[in-house]
Amino acid sequence: MDEYKKATFGGGCFWCLEAVFQKVTGVKQVVSGYSGGQGANPSYDAVCSGLTGHAEVVQLDYDPGQTDYSILLDWFWRCHDPTTLNRQGADVGSQYRSVIFCHDQDQLEQARDSKEAQEASESFVDPVVTEIGMIPEFYPAEDYHQNYYRANSGAGYCQFVIRPKMQKLGFE
């Protein structure tokens, strides 16, 4: 694991991002969790209350010999709508905000450049509202949130939200 690098993204429900990034070549591990708010070790209920300020995020361990940060950024932009403030589909609240938490200065510069490129490309009608900053603390989510799509593919949210996203992106 020492040769792996980390990347952390938020863009709606962490179950969706987790399912996508688990399919990306070079990503070795995806952990759903919380970051960007106040209070240590928040629970799902506390984050959903909106009072902690934490976002639902995924933290990736990736092999830089198989993929690079720019590719991960490309997947990030493709797998959610970065123009909706505190919302992805029916998931509403600040915990669902679009955010990139960077682990070093290089990631910070790449993320900012990538956001500028997205805005300049006019891929989106509305302005990109994605927050970009250095990673504060990361808190893994409860066990039942980990590998959610793999473990619960028959559940309603998986069938009606995650599976169509996976199909659109060519993973299923």
**Which positions are catalytic?**
13
The 3-state DSSP class for residue 6 equals strand
- Residue 121 burial (CB < 10 Å; 0-12/13-18/19+)? exposed
Judge contact between 138 and 35, C-beta under 8 A. Answer: yes
Tell me which residue of 89, 10, 21 sits closest to 60, measured CA to CA: 21
